Structures are given as structure tokens and as C-alpha cells.
Amino acid sequence: MIAIEADGRAIQAKEGDTILEALRREGIHVPTLCHMEGLPPSGACRLCLVEVEGAPTLTPACSFPATAGMKIKTRSPKVLDARRTIVELLLANHPDDCLYCNRNGKCDLQKLAQDMGLRQRRFRGSKAHMDKDVSSPSIIRDPDKCVLCGRCVRVCEEVQGVSAIDFVKRGAQTVVGTAFEGGLNVSSCINCGQCIVACPTGALSERSYVEQVVAELADPDKLVVVQHAPSVSVSLAEEFGLKPGTDVDGKMVAALRRVGFDRVFDTSFSADLTIMEEGSELVHRIKNGGVLPMMTSCSPGWIKFVEEFYPDFIPNLSTCKSPQQMLGAVIKSLFAQREGFDPARIVSVSIMPCTAKKFESGRPEMGRQHVADVDYVLTTRELGQLLHMFGVDLKAMEPESADTPFGERTTAGKLFGASGGVMEAAIRSAHFLITGRELADLKLQPLRGMQGAKELRVNIDGLELGAAVVSSLGQARKLLDQIRAGRKDLHFIEVMTCPGGCINGGGQPLNADIEAVRSRMQALYKIDQDEAVRVSHRNAYVMRLYDEFLGKPLGETSHRLLHTHYAKRDVVL
């Protein structure tokens, strides 16, 4: 540790700390728009300027190392004036539409202006104007609201390894855009929405389907069914000011009924169904010399990533649809038959932590006879908006249970919301499918946690099963390149598009820090610890679904409804 002085107070810094890291550890707030935790500093926004004794100019705290004996001023008149001027210059070229902006109340630029007491405009002039990019089924870009902080560019390139967007042009003409200034729909974008989470303003947002869902709820001729993903119940609370990681499953079900949904189902049910199909597919490949390692297909951003960047690995992908699409298919087939309803008159809505699910639901493979498995996808944020719009106070709801049969789940299905959860659930059931016995210890600790890459070796009756888990597509790239280079010790690979898994998806509540994401993950682990049925093959309603309708895993009916195919895509680079 080294001693430095900040605003006249002695504090400690770690060797190698930047000034910003040292100050934040001591609870001294320094504003920034460009800084991203865990990535090298870019120093783009200059809002973190501080005064260092002996330095000829103000110093960017995010990129300057703390040194012993350093004396820093974080709130001198010179510092405060520089920060105010930077924010005022950003506002001078920013649209005056805060009341209509989707980030109103959650905008970092708006908060900076409030914190600095800016109440009038000092700088005026012509403003740049560019058209919105509304080409993507998942993400809308509004370049007029971009402050060139670079966070979206960095997360797309350095975390996800996709590089769909970058800085283009030069000087005062610089903007963030796609290759050849095309739409996101023809770029390499995989729709993950991590750019939305990173963006400090309203320059990036999800394509909203709230208005369409509201219209469907008001139509008496439609049966409107909703499913909610495993991670939504442990993240929605934050939209209502509750502690991160609070599980509001029962309250959310009650709120969805209050809004007017005719049936409320749990996607964790079809996560259990996915395990039965995917686990059986893995066992079949191992026993019959199929393509290995098999790779999960639950995360649609990952699927598009493979189709675009690694098409030679398409045969390795599980043919299983994602849990969202599996439940959508069952709703539009078995459920429609039993309810005596034309599938075309059933409106299937899903609540997801993921913007890529909007893209997935529109894929032509995800439906039959021109009827989509899932009609509308709302993010966790959009669900919060819908409940606020209908005046539903989530905190005041009395918990209710989801509708049977597709509301019953095991904790294995619930674990799908966290990185490693699909693998943990799959190994639990694969062990049973191979040996006929339950795994002795259902908690697979090596697969848990926020690490970007995790591995496990498990012996199942003499079969040494090599399993790998990665989250973020940057981590996926590293593993795929190892396999291309000849690595052969893996049988099964789980990939989640977003760092940490669905709990940190592109559709989750904004402005959440890493501790909030960890709290969501721990909430899922607690559910798994506390409840009785922890393996997918013990879901009685899933077994009943096979007995009465699907036949058997990998059978003709289940293959027609629950499996799909993928193909190589051209990429604009």
C-alpha cells in the first residue's frame, strides 16, 4: 500500500492503482462517462479530471497512476469548472427531449447535469443530426444522443469480440456507426444488447413491443399467454426500488395476471424440457460417435455469432430450440389443442432478460405454417414499464403460483439464468440418463460464479466427461480457437452470450453494478439450495408431457416441435 493525500485527507492506494481506483475505494466520488470496470482506461470523456500538485494541467484520474506522496484535489474550483464546462459542451449538441427519452431518469448525462446544478445553456450553435437506425429487430440506435464515450464500441469489441460498431470519420465529424454506414440488421451485430447496458444516454435502446402487447391484451378475441425467464424474477425487483437479488416470482405472477394475461407460465418449465432433450442428445452423440464437443443452443446471440464467425462449428451446436422457443412451440400446439383455440388467435408473449430473444422469435425456423412460436418478446425493463403503465405496484402484490402444467419447474431449470447453470442442470440429468442413478452431490461448485471461463471433469460410470462453461463471446472466441487448434478433451460446452449469463443480459435493469449482478446469481443458487426438486428429470409435468404428447426425448414429435437447424450467415466487416 502507498500513502497519498486527497482533498487534504490521508488515504491508502494499492500499488498499480489509478487515481480513480484509489479514490473510489475510499468513497470519494469522481464522475466519468467513459470508464468501464475491468477494462483498460480510455480517457475519452475527461470528466474525471483532478488537480495533482506539481502537474502543469488537470489530470485524468482514470488513466493516471497513483504514486506515493501524491497530493490530489478532486473538488477545487478549477476542477469543478472544467467538469461543468465538459458537461455543458455535451449538452450543447444534445437533443432537448428528455421527457420523451427512454432513458429519462436513468441517464448518466442527465444525472451529471443535475449534480452540477446546470440550469441554463451557456453554449449554443447548430446541432448535428443523423437518422435513427431502426433496422434491427432488437436494438435502436439514435446517433443524435451519442456522447462519443466509446463504451458501446469497447463492450462490442473487447468483451464480445463482435466489433459491429466503431468510431467512423474524423475530428468534429466523428460518429459511432456500422461498416459502410449500413443498418444494424446487415452488420455483424448479434443483438446481445450489451451496448445498451453500457450506453450512458438514450443513444441505444431495445426495440419496444409494449404498445403492441397492450393492444393484444385489450382484444377480447385473443388468448394472451405469457412466459417469464428464470432470471427475471430475481432482477425485476430493481425496477421497483427493491434490493438487488430479491426473488419476486410469486408477486410477478400476480402482477402479470393483474395486467390481464390469460395464462402465466414459467420458462423454467421448458428449461427442464430442454435438459431432457439436450441431455439425451449429448448421450446419443457420445454413444453413437456424433459430433463433439456438443455446444448449447439456449443463447440466441451465441447462435448468430457461430453462424457468422465460426460456421464450421454449426454441426457442434445442439439442435434443441431455446427454452423460450420450446415453450412457445408447445403453447401453439398441445396447449392450443387442449384449449380448443386456433393457434393463430393465441398471442404468445415472453418476458426475457435478453434483447437477442426479440431477434430469435422472428427467425423463420421458429414456427410452423406461418404461425410464430413466440409473437412478442419484452425485456425485464419493458415489463417494469408495462406494470408502471397499468398502475400495478409489484411490492403490494400477494404471491400467486404460475398456471399448470407449464408453470411447474425444478431448481435445475431455474439455474439456467446464471452462467454454468445449463451445464449444472445437464450433468445432473445426464448422469441419471447414463447410469440410472442420481448424482451424489448435485451442487457442482466449479461451474458456479462470475468467472468468464470454467471447466469440470466428471466421471460417469467410467466415462470421463469434459465440460466447459464460458460467458461473453470474447471468452467463447478463445475456446473455439483452442478447439480449432486441436483441443480434444471436451464433450459438452455451455456458452452464454452475456458476461455472467442471463442475470446480466442486455434487457436487464440499467445502471446495475457488478455486486447487483452477483446478488441475482446468488438468489438463483439459494433457490436451488432451498427447494426439494432439483433435477429436470423429476419434473412430473415434463414427464407427463412426454407420456401424453411428445412420446420420448429425440422422438419424432419432439424433434419436429422442439428442434431446429442453423446455417452460415454472410458478415459485413
Could you give the residue numbers annotated as active site?
A: 278, 281, 298, 318, 357, 360, 365, 502
| Burial of 466 per CB tally in 10 Å (0-12, 13-18, 19+) | middle
Q: Please, what's the b/e burial string for 357-392 (b: 16 or more CB within 10 A of its CB; e: otherwise)?
A: bbbbbebeebbeeeebbbbbbbbbbbbbbbbeeeeb
What lies within 8 Å, CB to CB, of 241 at 6+ separation is none
Give the Cα separation of 184 and 132 in Å (integer): 11
13: phi then psi, degrees, rounded to nearest 5: -130, 150
The 8-class DSSP code of residue 240 comes to G
Asked whether the beta carbons of 408 and 541 are under 8 A apart, the reply is: yes
How far, in Å, CA of 465 to CA of 446, rounded? 14
Q: Are 518 and 499 in contact (CB under 8 A)?
A: no
- The Cα–Cα gap between 114 and 124 comes to 19
Residue 396, classified by CB atoms within 10 Å of its CB into exposed (0-12), middle (13-18) or buried (19+), is: exposed
- Distance of alpha carbon 429 from alpha carbon 416, whole angstroms: 14
For residues 265 and 403, give the distance between their C-alpha atoms in angstroms, rounded to a whole number. Answer: 6
Q: At what angle do helices 323-330 and 267-288 cross, to 10 degrees?
A: 110
H/E run at residue 248: none
Integer angstrom CA distances of residue 427 from 247, 414, 439, 468, 498: 25, 15, 8, 12, 22
Contact 90, 109 (CB under 8 A): yes
Element of type H or E holding 557: helix 556-562
Q: Which of 332, 305, 322 minimizes the C-alpha distance to 471?
A: 305
Question: C-alpha grid cell for residue 273?
Answer: 424440457
Element (H, E) at 171: none
C-alpha span between 375 and 389 (Å, rounded): 21
